[in-house]
Copies of this chain bind each other. A is one copy, B any other.
């Protein structure tokens, strides 16, 4: 019930909002939110339908689980990046940071290195993600270095460290249980990686919508100064946001390297742009203050569907770049248009 302000039992009030306002706003808000998600969703459907019509053997039964599997790692990283972008920040180190976590996973679990048991290795890998997030967070929240610069530096550092630690060669993680995390099938039709991605999406949605972390992240992104002046320890919460993103990065690394049981230390550069594109296509604002987890997942799937579908259509890769660029633009622009229209309704 949203009638507090108009309840007849309240003491007399100079001017009261009238019925139309009352009816209009909550409905409009909900509609607006769903339209926004719907839009990426609609784009996904359109793109999918297009490929079903024009690409070779684009059989949904085969392709959908495949797309989910392939999008799992980047999508997971994008979930974490959504929190950072919600605060108005950015993470350029997400791709190389992922590789660094994967290299460390290799160091922990590969028989050529420490050969630790799976559980320990996974925990330590998550710890590496936490460490990356912590460093980013401290640089940004406590030393006031702009996120773009802090994470740019982190990108270079993690890339360098990956190469140094691995000796520039790829590392094999032979443990079949490690591979099972991604490639096994708890469900008959979905690989575990896809399943984990979906579950992590639920976790992220709860974190964003129903916890202090999410609320503060959005408040900081909307108006950092007002949030600070409400007595909230902005530095602390911002750091926690980066740490959270670091955990998602480590999870992404596990899904990514688990799929093939190996780690290539030079990979990861450029992935940050795909991650950010997925988040933004999903309706999260780069200016901060507005975020959408379902949208991020859809965004990651849209990017991956494009890549798989264009390849299956036999489109030359040069053209795939052009098409992807144009689709990203159209998706973001459509979202902007929709929001403008909603605002002037």
Contact = CB atoms under 8 A, between A and B. Distances in A.
A160 B321 contact: yes
Given A148-B276, A164-B319, A156 B286 contact: no
A198 interface: no
A144 B336 contact: yes
A239 B144 CA distance: 31
Contact of A329 (B153, B316, B336): B153
Given A160-B325, A322-B157, A287 B332 contact: no
A240 interface: no
A311 interface: no
B156 A322 contact: yes
B336 A153 contact: no
A155 interface: yes
Nearest to A287: B146
A103 to B, nearest CB: 12
Contacts of A286: 146, 148-149
Nearest to A318: B163
B326 A157 contact: yes
Given A146-B287, A280-B146, A156 B321 contact: yes
Interface string A318-339: 1111101110110011001000
- Residue picked from A143, A156, A163, most chain B C-beta under 10 Å: A156
A56 interface: no
A322 B287 contact: no
A282 B172 CA distance: 42
A340 B276 CA distance: 31
Copies of this protein in the complex: 2
Contact of A161 (B146, B149, B322): B322
Contact of A159 (B144, B145, B321, B332): B321
Contacts of A154: 325
A139 B148 CA distance: 22
A146 B284 CA distance: 12
A153 B280 contact: no
Contacts of A144: 336, 340
B332 A156 contact: no
A336 B143 contact: yes
A152 B276 contact: yes
A277 interface: yes
B160 A322 contact: yes
Given A156-B328, A277-B152, A333 B164 contact: no
Contacts of A45: none
A151 B287 CA distance: 16
A100 to B, nearest CB: 12
A273 B152 contact: yes
A270 interface: yes
Given A156-B328, A333-B143, A336-B143, A149 B277 contact: yes
A328 B152 contact: yes
